[in-house]
Amino acid sequence: MYQKLWKPEAEGPEIVFDEAHQVMNWHLSAGSHGISKTVLEYRFDFERCIPPQDIVSPHPFDQQPPGQRFFSRSARMARVSDQSHHRQLDSTLGYLEHPKRWRFTHGCKARVLEGRLYLSRSHHITGPNMSAWSFLGIIDNLGLPVCNHLHTYTMCGENLLARSAFVNDTGSALPELRFIVMMGFPDGAHNCFSETRSCQICFTDYVVTFKASEAEDLFSFELVTYHGLGTCQTPYEREWRFLHEKVRTGIENRSERRYGVSQPGDVWKRWQQSEAQPDNQITKTSSWVSFDQML
């Protein structure tokens, strides 16, 4: 079955321990061993003309094209050729159906701060002015991941009965988005809502921003997540273990995350403080540990 080009097609890069470990080895050895942090970084953006009647169709983020670096040369050429054909068809049919232009931007940055690896992922979606319910329906169908325990489910549209408002085996919905759906924008928000929160299980903080501009006739949604991955020298380290913890198992450990070595919001604060500091400085006490030594 033909999948429309504006809809996601492949999941973004999964963080595996081998990659994170080798990135830290690169940092600790001043580039003598391991791989650069750029292997974890990406950015891609695109625009799509989406027919109004197509907005309700599911388009989960786990099928989003993650960028050219994930394709071989032959696969990339075949993909470009196929997209060119369907893009012409979409454009012709789209204009006949009064399409709406949407812009999608996804990116990821990596930093090593005080011997620990941090990631920041960003998702920015801009679309035409419409009801908050309709716009959040798009966000709901995208299923943008915050972490393994939180997703951007908004309880809109066809997912209304399928999603649980409480934590379940597939993760829970963001309370900020459910609040807008049920209550509208908070008093004094003037069609702009922004919150900084934390996952209760892993070392992930996030900022979610939702704006409605009548003057520009646009809706805008932005989700930025900040992940503390630790030293990445062993998969049994607290940060890494909690990141990949199952939802129900993680509930038992969330007090250790919240009241242990890191408080909610600390990951976000550490990232913001690093904005004015040189990135990837090598500490004098750093020592490289091979993967064989770790096992």
Q: What is the dihedral of CA 237, 240, 246, 249, to 10 degrees?
A: 30
**Tens digit of pLDDT for each residue in 150-209?**
777 655 444 443 333 333 334 555 655 655 555 555 544 456 667 788 887 888 898 888
Question: Are the C-beta atoms of 226 and 122 separated by less than 8 Å?
Answer: no
- Mean pLDDT value across residues 135-161: 65
> What is the reported pLDDT for 201?
80
Instruction: For residue 238, count CB atoms less than 10 angstroms from its CB and return exposed for 0-12, middle for 13-18, buried for 19 or more.
Output: middle
Compute the mean pLDDT over every residue in the chain, rounded to the nearest whole number: 67
pLDDT at 90: 44
What is the band of 277 on the pLDDT scale with cuts at 50, 70, 90?
low
Question: Are 218 and 126 within 8 A, CB to CB?
Answer: yes
Work out whether strand 116-128 and strand 172-173 pair parallel, antiparallel, or are unpaired.
unpaired
Alpha carbon distance 226, 122 (integer Å)? 9
Lowest mean pLDDT among 75-79, 99-103, 218-222: 75-79
Q: What is the pLDDT of residue 129?
A: 75
Q: Are 172 and 150 in contact (CB under 8 A)?
A: yes
Mean pLDDT of all residues in 25-30: 90
Q: Report residue 63: phi and psi, to 5°.
A: -120, 20
The enclosing H or E element of 123 equals strand 116-128
Among 27-36, 187-196, 268-277, name the most confident range: 27-36
CA-to-CA distance for 251 and 244, rounded, in angstroms?
Answer: 13
User: Given a cut of 90, is residue 30 above it in pLDDT?
Assistant: no
Tokens matching residue 190: 């003037």
pLDDT at 254 (0 to 100): 55
Residues 6+ apart with CB under 8 A from 27: 34, 37, 112, 280, 282, 286
* pLDDT (mean) for 61-86: 46
